[in-house]
Amino acid sequence: MFDILSVGDLVIDNPIAAFMVPTLFSLVAIILIAWRGYVLKVRYSVKILPWVHIDASKKTDVSNTLHAADEKVLSILSKELSKHYRVDGLENIILIRYGSSVYTEKYNNDYDYIVLVIGFEEDRYLQSLGKQIDYINNKERIDLEIRDFNSFLFSASAGYPYETSIINTGIFIYGQEGYYKWLRHIVGAIVVDTHYLRGRLLERSYTVLTQLDGYLEDRAYKKHKYPAIIRLYSIYSFYYQYLLLDDFGGITSPAEVSKFASPYNFKESLSISYLWENYEEIVQCFKRRRLPVGDADALILHWSSEIKSVILEEINEQR
């Protein structure tokens, strides 16, 4: 039995302290060793690889081949990023192709891309920078989403279906491949808490709904009504993802969650909802970049009002 501990010039005559001091030193040593190992692991396993250079004479991607649609997208980006988003050059981007143009053996006439812009300054931070639609020879359609890297990283880390599906099934085309591989490592390592995710999806649907209410009262809505369709598509999609995740007990994998990126594919499970007819029409408007047939203003307000009442009811039930 001891009640005195001498550490250098320090003498401790309290028996509890005499026990705790060496224990604390041991814990600190263990933490430092573990941290050093973690840092080394990250340093050597997550390397920021050189971004792929592209110029007029030589265009290459990770597989040394670029499809015509890929070249068209890079041409769009070199102009749009500088003109509208104050981003100079293509040095700090990640270009990913996803959707049916990846799954099918032959390219179809619809190409989906997302470009993640890295290193935005804080005062220019935007969750979603914009959507760009273009065509090749008036036949092949290109859907290009321009997105801030930080917001995408947060959503992918939380297990959101859309972002995880892009990382799980998309292919890297151009840019900072090291960041892309880092995203894949993160998504591959997470475990999705569906209870948490359902709450965030419901919260996000309400946030976009609030944005839609503001836009409908804005003067810009009179001239540009299609942005309201984009917001309605997001609101309904988030809500249906929220419903689909209700079948999970709590914990699941990103691969399972990513299946719900397009709730429209689960018509048999969700068509019982009286909102489904609204969603079907909204999806068609969104995909074809058009307004609904008939009184567009009345339909948009109707769709907004119906989903708003349902979402508010869900939120009140959880309080």
Residue 73 CA to residue 226 CA, distance in Å, equals 22
Judge whether residue 107 has pLDDT over 60.
Answer: no
Residue 187 CA to residue 122 CA, distance in Å, equals 25
Judge whether residue 6 has pLDDT over 50.
Answer: no
Give the per-residue pLDDT at 2.
40
Give the per-residue pLDDT at 118.
87
Judge whether residue 138 has pLDDT over 70.
Answer: no
| Least-confidence region, from 96-105, 146-155, 228-237, 297-306 | 96-105
Closest Cα to residue 107, out of 72, 149, 58?
A: 72
Give the per-residue pLDDT at 59.
34
Residue 200 CA to residue 156 CA, distance in Å, equals 13
- The CA-CA-CA angle for residues 95, 100, 103, to 5°, reads 90
pLDDT (tens digit, 9 = 90+) per residue, 24-55?
A: 555 555 555 455 444 333 333 333 333 333 33
**Confidence (pTM):** 0.72
| Least-confidence region, from 5-14, 69-78, 288-297 | 5-14
Judge whether residue 22 has pLDDT over 90.
Answer: no
How does residue 179 score in pLDDT terms, banded at 50, 70 and 90?
very high
pLDDT above 70 covers what percent of the chain?
A: 69
Those residues with Cβ within 8 angstroms of residue 200's Cβ, 6 or more apart along the chain or in another chain: 158, 160
Residue 220 CA to residue 46 CA, distance in Å, equals 45
How does residue 4 score in pLDDT terms, banded at 50, 70 and 90?
very low
Those residues with Cβ within 8 angstroms of residue 31's Cβ, 6 or more apart along the chain or in another chain: none
Give the per-residue pLDDT at 79.
79
Average pLDDT over residues 258-285: 85
Judge whether residue 75 has pLDDT over 90.
Answer: no
How does residue 310 score in pLDDT terms, banded at 50, 70 and 90?
very high
Q: What rounded mean pLDDT belongs to the chain? A: 76
Residue 46 CA to residue 51 CA, distance in Å, equals 14
Average pLDDT over residues 257-267: 87
Joined tokens for residue 27: 């814990």
Any idea what DSSP says for residue 127?
A: S
Residue 145 CA to residue 143 CA, distance in Å, equals 7
Closest Cα to residue 265, out of 246, 288, 244?
A: 244
Give the per-residue pLDDT at 129.
46
Distance between start and end Cα atoms, the chain: 56
How many helices (H) and strands (E) in the chain? 13, 9
Q: What number of other Cβ atoms are within 10 A of residue 50's Cβ?
A: 9
How does residue 180 score in pLDDT terms, banded at 50, 70 and 90?
very high
- The CA-CA-CA angle for residues 182, 188, 193, to 5°, reads 120
Average pLDDT over residues 133-137: 60
